[in-house]
Amino acid sequence: MKKILFIILSLTYYNCASTLPEIKDMKTQLNERIVNSYDTTSPVRVLFSTLRKPISPDVSCSNNYYSTQLDTTERFGACEVIVPASHDIGSLDQDASGSNEKYYKLENHASLSNIDALKTEISKNQFPEIIVFVHGFNVKFEEAVLRAAQIKYDLKFAGEVVLFSWPAGSEDGVLSQLLIKGTYQNNLTNAKASIFTFKNFLSKLETTKKKIHLIVHSMGHQVVLPAVANLNRETNEKVIQQMVLNAPDFDSSEFKGIADNLKKSAERITVYCSPGDNALVASSKVNQNKRLGSCEKHSGIDMVNVNPVDSPVMGLGGLGHGYYSSRPILTDLYQVILGLDAKNRLFLRKSSPMNGEDYVMRR
């Protein structure tokens, strides 16, 4: 008996010891991902491509220059954002005084001549991954840039964040902002007109040989999903590492028709959905169909119901359709980018087979 016990202990020690270098290497790799600890107020660079039409001779990273109107010319550049260390996770607080300690501040603008110049800037960063962020409905240029900077800062992401800003938003004026249905239709038209440009943009980024993580929100899926599906039909290649779809305002039945192409394009697709998302409920009524972001299972895609961490009162409040600004979802997103399977990620639990999702996000 003592001999058998000795053999078992010896084998256990051997197996544990043999995994120690692997564990140590994993720890090293994780630490190497954090190049900047982002624990102080810091300048964050956001590279961008946009189809927004300029409306001023004074080039700047502002809504006064990049409008809500569609242009036929794609423009490239970089914006510097001062991100305050004291900001609440996911917030975009700004103030006219421009205090760097508490509020976000848009700083320098640099124009880039073409996509090759943008790729050069990406290649200067030695980190082997990039995040491509595509915003959603009714988002003007400044908000899109600030959101991209917030994602980079809060995720402590060492690679470049590249914003694709299609012409979303409403015109200035109280009346224009109140006519939400008209704004929705105008934004949708601009989104669909941006598909071809985004497809080519993504194809060019692939040549940087960086791993691409694609984060999309809301109506931005009207740009991204058809573009990625079309690109796959042409190349049949995986161009995306992690494809993250936040509250996709996209016809669920139309998604079924392109799902196979999308799955061939990415290592993993994660959908953050919510049956209680008020914006998607409204979109379903306008479009007379079920929206992908309302939760419906699709084979080979991780559907994560975030409704438990979205707590609207009397139909109001909650995440406000802005999932990527939520602490629980940012925590999960960090794990997604690391490549962890959904079943192994913190704060997710397997859902009932009868429900419209695969996983549920725990409080």
HEC readout, 307-352: HHHCCEECCEECCCCCHHHCHHHHHHHHHHHHCCCHHHCCCEEECC
- Is the residue at 20 inside a domain? no
Neighbours of 234 (CB within 10 A): 9
Rounded Cα distance, 318 and 300, in Å: 29
Model pLDDT, residue 315: 39
3-state secondary structure of 87: coil
Does 101 map to a domain?
no
Per the structure, the count of domains in the chain is 1
Q: Is residue 77 part of a domain?
A: no
Task: Please check whether residue 287 lies inside any domain of the structure.
Answer: yes
pLDDT single digits (tens) 179-188? 678 889 999 9
CA atoms within 13 A on the CB side of 222: 24
> Out of 6-15, 114-123, 268-277, 323-332, which region has the weakest mean confidence (pLDDT)?
6-15
Report if residue 325 sits inside a domain: yes
4 within some domain:
no
- The CATH number for 174's domain is 3.40.50
Residue 34 lies in a domain: no
Tokens linked to 58: 């004074």
pLDDT digits (tens, 9 = 90+) for 18-64: 455 666 577 777 777 877 788 889 899 999 999 999 999 999 999 99
Residue 35 resides in a domain: no
- Out of 96-105, 127-136, 338-347, which region has the weakest mean confidence (pLDDT)? 96-105
Residue-range definition of the domain harbouring residue 263:
115-361
Q: Which run of H or of E encompasses 71?
A: strand 66-83
What's the rounded Cα separation, in Å, for the pair 230 and 227? 5
